[in-house]
Amino acid sequence: MHSSTLSMFFTLLLSSHSLCATNEPCYGPSGRAGVCITEASCTSAGGTAISGACPADAANIKCCSKPTCSSGNCRWSSDCAGTSASNQCPGPAQMKCCSSAATGFGGYSAPTIPAVGACKQVSVNAAKAVSATLSGKEIAEWCMRNRNTLNLKYVIWGQKIWTTSVDKTEKNWENWRTMEDRGDLTQNHWDHVHVSYNG
């Protein structure tokens, strides 16, 4: 009796860890900003849900996006270069109605390759305010495209990885290898781009 109870406990523990945490970023139709939530929550918030865009998620979790709201479109507040309004978009509080029409890199210009040491400063300053963002896709793909100059080993973004030793050729982030669900935004690399360099 004791061993079957213990075995059932571990089975439940392991199966609950394999399900994705909701409220993680995703890409909806046409690359639109989205959030991984239940289809019912999406519909009740006025969004549109699509299947297959939330890596390693339970079947009832869909990518929900809402292309229009009162002053613009729904996106992660960290990706809005304009002003944003709360309580108009599906998902967590960080998903807001953004008045900016800017796209990519949070509405900012694409980066240039920084001088040695500058990268560390940028990373430290950016880490002070951790929140979900979709800007990492462009940054991660930029790192992949500039792999030789950067002496890149691998790059991780949005629960996907691209490595110079395995992947070798450039490909869109959507075609990178999906990693296991690690349980939250930070460990799944939705709030930062993880870049590793060759020694």
> Count of domains in the chain?
2
Q: Is residue 86 part of a domain?
A: yes
Q: What is the pLDDT of residues 85-117, one digit of tens each?
A: 999 999 999 999 998 766 654 555 555 555 444
Same domain, 83 and 112: no
- Taking the model in full, what pTM does it have? 0.62
- Phi then psi for residue 135, to 5 deg, are -65, -20
Whole-angstrom CA distances from 178 to 31, 56, 71, 101, 175 are: 18, 8, 34, 30, 8
Domain for residue 28, yes or no? yes
* 137 and 77 belong to one structural domain: no
> 98 in a domain, yes or no?
yes
| Residue that finishes a domain, picked among 104, 139, 158 | 104
* Residue of 85, 149, 83, 163 whose CA lies nearest to 113: 149
What value does the CA radius of gyration of the chain take, rounded to a whole number of Å? Answer: 18
Residue 51 and residue 124 share a domain: no
Position 37 scores a pLDDT of 94
Say yes or no: 97 and 114 in one domain: no
Q: How confident is the model at residue 76 (pLDDT cuts 50, 70, 90)?
A: confident
> So what's the pLDDT on residue 171?
94
In a domain, 14, yes or no: no
Task: Answer with the residue of higher pLDDT: 82 or 123.
Answer: 82
Band the pLDDT of 7: cuts 50, 70, 90: very low
Mean pLDDT of 116-142: 60
Same domain, 74 and 150: no
pLDDT 10s digits, 12-71: 333 333 344 588 888 888 888 899 999 999 999 999 999 988 866 788 899 999 989 998
pLDDT of residue 165: 94
- Asked whether residue 3 is assigned to any structural domain, the reply reads no
Total residues found in the chain within this entry: 199
| The predicted structure's pLDDT at residue 192 | 87
154 located within any domain? yes
Q: What is the mean pLDDT of residues 138-151?
A: 91
73 and 111 inside one domain: no
- 95 and 121 housed in the same domain: no
Q: Verify that 138 and 63 share a domain, yes or no.
A: no
Which of 35, 70, 104 is where one domain is finished? Answer: 104
Domain containing 36: what range? 20-104
Q: For residue range 148-191, what is the model confidence (pLDDT) as tens digits?
A: 999 999 999 989 999 999 998 999 998 999 998 888 888 888 88
Calpha distance 116→69 (Å, rounded): 42
The answer, yes or no, to whether residue 128 has pLDDT greater than 90, is no
- Domain edge (last residue) among 75, 104, 133: 104
Do 141 and 100 have their domain in common? no
